[in-house]
Structure 1
Amino acid sequence: MPLSGEQITNYLADESLVLDAPDFKGEIQHLAYNSQDVEPNTLFFIKGNFKPEYLEDAKTKGVVAVVAPVGFNETLGLPTWVVDDVAAAMSIVSMAFYDFPQNKLALIGITGTKGKTSTAYMAHEILNQATDGKAALSSTLAVITGQDPQYHYRAHLTTPESLDLFRWMHEAVENGMTHMVMEVSSQAYKKERVYGLRYDVGVFLNISEDHIGPNEHPTFEDYIECKMELFDHSDQIVLNADSGHFPELIERAELAVPKDGLWLYAKEHADEDDDMGADISYRTMSEDLQGSQFALTHHGAQAAELELDGEYALDMPGDFNQGNATAAMMATRLVGADATSMVKGLQEVKVPGRMQELTSQKHGTIYVDYAHNYASIAALLQFVRANERVDKLRIVVGAPGNKGVSRRPGIGEAINEGADIAYLTSDDPQYENPADIVAEIKAHVDTDKVQVIEELDRTQAITDAITHSGPDDVVVLAGKGLDEYQKIDGIDTPYENDWAIANRVVNELEAE
């Protein structure tokens, strides 16, 4: 909705964000932080490493006022709100401009080092079953704000910039959506993308070393602190009692919500005393590489209220996915989903690019997955070995540039634990030299145990891995999934995608 200058000042002042406000008499009809997204009567947010010369062009397109940080003095005479945190200010103004859409949606926020996307898709499918398709989604892979395909967008960030997020939320409300499931990254809190946003349910899956580097979190302590901010902004919390650093997590969660707002889940242990006081435990009934059967058991009167006891079928393999499903079921139950919707949702959920399987006649089995850090790659390789006859297990993997530097040693360690042959290649190198990234991973691979092949052309690496595989071999393509681009020197460079390459190579080999 249009905003006056007085409204903007008041919203920012309520959050103690505004340091200086203009006497702006006009009306704001549009918001933007990118100079390419400007319309008449736009309020423009100067954020990040903004180049002042871009503002000249933006002004000619319709910028009539600016929100700028302290020290940015090149506002071309435009009315300017000076704030000490532009990202936080953008979130507050955006939610007001889009008429506080979060208050019209039941919100589930999901965080964790691994499993966010799978859990989000499970929760989204369950809620779609429960609401006849009225659940929105914001994930690493896609943003969905309506049932029509025109409201399905490719995602560029795990958690969008606040302006985009509230715009999509508003569109979801306009499209009749009643619920929304969101992945919430640590960067979303570090960079204030969700400033001022509360969740009906916050889900914390796990925490391990990741996203530590010059352009992300300086230390693990900073990483976990940003992750735990989800607790502070959730009305109820679903927490994995099997997570690393659980004592620290439970202490923070107990400060954030009352006892009846904290829900714990864990894998069933042989010794019930080891279940860390879980409200719901899960156990594997059966599993293979196509899916699994698992059972839930409640512990205590509070958990009995969820009425989740029983056996469930999941069209995804792995006990790690059973844990994710348990979290999704608990969270969706807390926002109104019924058991029938859970049964149907878990049977039908598909996560694009997750454990996609391709079987060839002469070159074994190929799995495509977005696994991109120690925890996810190690779990994937170990699961394949446990459930597949494997002669040689090959993995094609790299690591992104200018982010997640701490992942690289872990990728090498995961390779040691599960692979026979590793093709180290490019991922999204950005501004780094892919050869340098590969060298960092290789430094942590035991080359006496694992054969390492360096091939920086990812398409060629995939081709070679499949071509040299025998009928009892397995090839794991990790990291890129269905991504149709590689980030190179700041440009989204077209890329065929791992799944498409694998299918093409197999078809070509079997046609010979």
Structure 2
Amino acid sequence: MKLKRLLSVLDVCECTADPELDIRDISFDSRTTQPGDLFAAVCGYESDGHRFIGAAAERGAAVVLCQRKPEVEIPYILVADSRLALSRICCEFFDNPSRELTMIGVTGTNGKTTVTTLIKHMLEQCLHTKVGLIGTNANVIGDEVLHTEHTTPDAYELQKLLRRMVDAGCTHAVMEVSSHSLVLHRVEGIRFRVGIFTNLSQDHLDFHKTMEAYAAAKAQLFAQSDAGIVNADDDWAHVMLEHAKCPMHTYSAKRNDADLVAKDIRLSASGVRFVAMHGDAIARMRLGIPGMFSVYNALSVIACACALGISLDDCAAALDTAKPVKGRAEVLETDGDYAILIDYAVTPDAIDNILTTVREFAPARLVFLFGCGGDRDRGEDVRR
């Protein structure tokens, strides 16, 4: 690709490189840079990419994208924010694949993996189409499962993955959108047809410092969405609604003034049942995952379906056939008179939710085994 095409999406302060230069690939790791690459020097939280410009030049980098002039002799593109610029050129380098997909983004402390997985299932069942999934458990293109290391991939890997989805025939992509990815511009250049907020509780305060900053980061999703969906029962819902720059829709299991309401809620060890009401439409819903949190996860999926013009009845049929998500309230078979349940509960609120759910159906002895890796948010523990 000609450098001039990448330059066309940037606010350039100064450029010493030939716009007709052919760019082989984009790199931001000097160890993997190859001849003909554009090397992006990004200021990270643990290291500064500008320190490795010399190493990238030695490996044959053709040009460097930076926010400080290089100390070595190499053509450069000077910008105010190299991280933001990197995201923009990655979109252009892969020919803006998100524009060829119906993008659905889900943010929130808890529930993202379950909600995105259920939305993928719902779209496949209701629209009979091929859907891509980007999330914590795995990245999925139709039925092909790919390894993942981050909730939201870095900008380069994200755009590369979206291009693979388009080339594989996907029409929709559902992705978990972490607060980090919003602050660090990983999803820059992506327009979401639907953005969804599940909930907010203590997490990632080692990065965001305060809950207010954490909430504001989540709310950024609605600045790049055509329609927004918010859990009206969450204490931070008002922040999402106040920051929104798109039409917003709400769901609730407690309030009658929400756009989508759950009534006649019934919880059991085998799952949840409730009546969904959206305007004049009413349908009975069943999801085979236990716990009150499953009602809220289901409401997120139903609200998304409504935003895409899918009927409540069709959505109900899809949820009824949905399988439990791996590692999320997952029950393992045993040979004894006991049950084992695995859940990815890493926040105080998530731990409360899963223990409350289990206790409702397990009056006998309950053994709770959990890990505590530490080294991040010191306030995020279960001692409370």
> What is the rounded CA distance, in whole Å, between the counterparts of 1:351 and 1:296 in structure 2?
22
Equivalent position of 1:127 in the other structure: 123
Deviation at 1:319, TM superposition (A): 1.8
Which of 10, 14, 20 matches 2:14?
Answer: 20
> How far 1:41 sits from its partner (Å)?
2.2
Find 2:258's aligned residue among 278, 285, 293.
278
* Cα RMSD, aligned residues only: 2.2
Query: Which residue does 1:510 correspond to in 2?
Result: none
2:295 is aligned to: 322
Task: Name which of structure 1's ranges 21-30 and 116-125 shifts more when overlaid on structure 2.
Answer: 21-30
Q: Is the 8 A contact 2:215 2:239 kept in 1?
A: no
In structure 1, what is the equivalent of residue 276 of structure 2?
Answer: 296
2:67 to 66, 69, 82: 69
Distance 1:111 1:53 in 2: 34
Counterpart residue number, 2:174: 181
Displacement after TM superposition at 1:142 (Å):
1.0
Cα distance, 1:40 vs structure 2: 4.1
Change in CA separation of 1:400 and 1:366 when aligned onto 2, cut-off 3 Å: same
Would you say the 8 A contact 2:37–2:62 is kept in 1?
Answer: yes
C-alpha separation in 1, matches of 2:29 and 2:220 = 27
Aligned mates of 1:356, 1:180 — CA distance in 2: 25
What per-residue deviation string (whole Å, max 9, x for no partner) do you get for residues 338-389 of structure 1? 5435522442233111112135455722211101101110010011101123
The answer on whether the counterparts of 2:17 and 2:77 sit within 8 Å (CA) in structure 1 is no
1:110-161 superposed Cα distances (whole Å, 9 cap, x missing partner): 11111111111111111122343411111111111343x3xx2122111111
1:86 Cα deviation from its structure 2 partner = 1.6
Shift of residue 284, structure 1, vs aligned partner: 5.0
Partners of 1:325 and 1:346 within 8 A in 2: no
Measured after TM superposition, the shift of residue 39 of structure 1 is 4.2
Aligned to 2:338: 364
Q: Which moved more, 1:188-197 or 1:328-337?
A: 328-337
Relative distance call for 1:146 and 1:80 in structure 2 (3 A) is farther
Q: What is the number of equivalent residue pairs in this alignment?
A: 379
Compared CA separation, residues 51 and 30, structure 1 to 2 (3 A): closer
SS at match of 2:355: helix
Alignment of 1:297-312 (within 5 A): 297-298=277-278, 303-304=279-280, 307=281, 309-312=282-285
* Structure 2 portions without partners, runs of 5+: none
2:248 corresponds to which of 239, 262, 273: 262
Aligned counterparts of 1:115 and 1:397: Cα–Cα separation in 2: 19
Q: In 2, are the aligned partners of 1:357 and 1:368 still within 8 Å (CA)?
A: yes
Partner of residue 287, structure 1? 267
CA apart distance, 1:209 = 2.3
**Match in the other structure for 1:8:** 6
Query: Structure 2 residue aligned with 1:84, among 53, 70, 80?
Result: 80
Identity rate of aligned residues, in percent?
27
Query: Residues 87, 336 of structure 1: CA spacing in aligned structure 2 closer, same or farther, 3 A cutoff?
Result: farther
* Deviation at residue 331 of structure 1 after TM alignment: 1.1
Aligned partner of 2:251: which letter? Answer: Y
Aligned partner of 2:217 in structure 1 is: 226
Specify the SS of the correspondent of 2:38: strand
Structure whose alpha-carbon radius of gyration is higher: 1
Q: Where do residues 208-247 of structure 1 align in structure 2 (5 Å cutoff)?
A: 208-213=201-206, 216-247=207-238
TM-score w.r.t. the length of structure 2 is 0.91
Query: Is 1:347 aligned to residue 345 of structure 2?
Result: no
The code of the aligned residue for 1:158 comes to T
User: Cα deviations across residues 432-490 of structure 1 (Å, max 9, x unaligned)?
Assistant: xxxxxxxxxxxxxxxxxxxxxxxxxxxxxxxxxxxxxxxxxxxxxxxxxxxxxxxxxxx
Task: Select the residue among 32, 41, 47 that pairs with 1:46.
Answer: 41
Name the CA distance, whole Å, in 2 between partners of 1:34 and 1:175.
28
Structure 1 gap segments, 5+ residues each: 414-512
Distance in 2 between the 1:397 and 1:332 partners?
35
Contact 2:305 2:315 in 1 (8 A): no
Aligned partner of 2:107 among 97, 100, 111: 111
Would you say the 8 A contact 1:314–1:346 is kept in 2? yes
SS at match of 1:234: coil
> Hey, what's the Cα distance between the residues in 2 that align with 1:362 and 1:349?
24
